[in-house]
Structure 1
Amino acid sequence: MVTDESRCPCLSGNPYGECCGPLHAGAAAPTAERLMRSRFSAFALGLPEYLLLTWHPQTRPPVLELDADQRWTRLDILATSSGGPFDSRGTVAFRAWWRSDDDRGTLEETSEFVREQGRWFYVDGTVA
C-alpha cells in the first residue's frame, strides 16, 4: 500500500503525496512528462479509472483491464519534446520495467500528448 509519505512509484524521488498522488486525486498535470509519470504510477498502483480519464476521448478504449500479475517497477524518461506548461502538444519517450511471476521485461514507447482546456491527455504511442 502506498501512502502520501511513500516514495512515488514513478521514481521522481518525491513522496507520492507531493508527486503523483495529487494528480490521481484530480489535479491537472502541469506538463506532459508529469502526466506520463502519473500514468506509470497508475499502472503500478492498479488505477485503470485514472488511466481512462487521462486518455484522450478520440483514442480512449471503452474499457481497460490491467493484468493483476504484471507489476510495473521502474520508469526511465528517455527524452521529452515540447509538452511544457504553455504548449498544446508534447512527446515523452520512456522505458518502463515490469515483472510477473514467470517473466520480466521492458516497454519502450514514445507517447504523444495533447493539452486541451488546461489538461494534458495521452493520445497514443509508438512502441520501439
Structure 2
Amino acid sequence: MRRPDDACPCGSNATYAMCCAPFHAGAEPPDAERLMRARYAAFALGEPRFLYRTLHRDHEDRARPERDFVASLEKHVKRARYRGLRILDRDGPDADGIARVLFAVDVAVAGRDASFVELSSFAVDDGGWRYVGGRSMPKRAAGDLDALRIATFSVASR
C-alpha cells in the first residue's frame, strides 16, 4: 500500500502526495508532461479510472465502456511491475494544440521484460490535458536513449 510520503513512482523525486496523488484524486495536470507522469504512476499504482478519465475523446478506447476498460487494466496491473520512467524529450503545444512527450519505461509483464520507448501526443479536452495516442517501440530497439529525441524517434519508428 502506498503511503502519501512515499516517493512518487513517476520519478519526479517528489513524494506521491506532492506529485501525482492530487491528479489521481481529480485535479488536472497543468501540462502534457505532468499528465504523462501521472498516467505512468497510475499504471504503476493500479489507477485505471484515472487512465480512462485522461483519454482524449477521440482515443479509440473511449468507445469502450469504462467498466470494460477498467477491468482490462486491472488484469494488466496484476501482471505488470513498473520499474522506472525516464523523460527523453518534450515539445509543444504546437499551433494545433498538440504537445508531445518522448519517454522510456522499464516494465516487466508476467516476469518478462516489456520495456519500451513511446512518443505520446496530448491535447486539451474536457477541461484538461488528455492522452491522444502514441507510437512505441521496444526499448532495446531504440538505441542510445541519451541521444534519442522526438525528431530522431519519428524517423526511427517509421
The TM-score normalised by the length of structure 1 is 0.90
Amino acid in the other structure paired with 1:3: R
- Write the deviation string for residues 60-83 of structure 1: whole angstroms up to 9, x where unpaired: 411321211111110000100014
| One of 88, 96, 104 as aligned partner of 1:78 | 88
- Write the deviation string for residues 26-82 of structure 1: whole angstroms up to 9, x where unpaired: 111001000000000000011111100000121141132121111111000010001
- Report the more deviating stretch, 88-97 or 115-124: 115-124
- Checking the alignment, whether the CA contact within 8 Å between 2:54 and 2:129 is kept in structure 1 is yes
* TM-superposed deviation, 1:118: 4.0
Equivalent position of 2:114 in the other structure: 105
- Write the deviation string for residues 6-27 of structure 1: whole angstroms up to 9, x where unpaired: 1001010000001000000111
In structure 2, C-alpha distance between the alignment counterparts of 1:17 and 1:90, rounded to whole Å: 26
More helix by share: 2
Runs of 4+ in structure 1 over 4 Å off: none
Residue ranges of structure 2 left out of the alignment (5+ in a row): 138-158
- Checking the alignment, whether the CA contact within 8 Å between 1:31 and 1:83 is kept in structure 2 is no
Partner SS, residue 19 of structure 1: coil
Q: For this pair of structures, how many residues does the alignment match?
A: 126
Sequence identity of aligned pairs in percent? 37
Amino acid in the other structure paired with 1:115: V
In structure 1, C-alpha distance between the alignment counterparts of 2:79 and 2:126, rounded to whole Å: 36
In structure 2, C-alpha distance between the alignment counterparts of 1:81 and 1:15, rounded to whole Å: 26
Residue ranges of structure 1 left out of the alignment (5+ in a row): none
* TM-superposed deviation, 1:103: 1.1
Which structure has the larger Rg over C-alpha atoms?
2
* TM-superposed deviation, 1:88: 3.0
In structure 2, C-alpha distance between the alignment counterparts of 1:14 and 1:81, rounded to whole Å: 23
In structure 2, C-alpha distance between the alignment counterparts of 1:13 and 1:35, rounded to whole Å: 16
Partner SS, residue 115 of structure 2: strand
Partner SS, residue 7 of structure 2: coil
- Checking the alignment, whether the CA contact within 8 Å between 2:56 and 2:125 is kept in structure 1 is no
Which structure has the higher relative contact order (CA within 8 Å, separation 6+)? 1
* TM-superposed deviation, 1:120: 0.1
Equivalent position of 1:20 in the other structure: 20
Equivalent position of 2:49 in the other structure: 49
**Aligned-residue CA RMSD (Å):** 1.8
- Report the more deviating stretch, 15-24 or 57-66: 57-66
- Checking the alignment, whether the CA contact within 8 Å between 1:52 and 1:60 is kept in structure 2 is no
More strand by share: 1
Amino acid in the other structure paired with 1:53: R
In structure 2, C-alpha distance between the alignment counterparts of 1:43 and 1:10, rounded to whole Å: 10
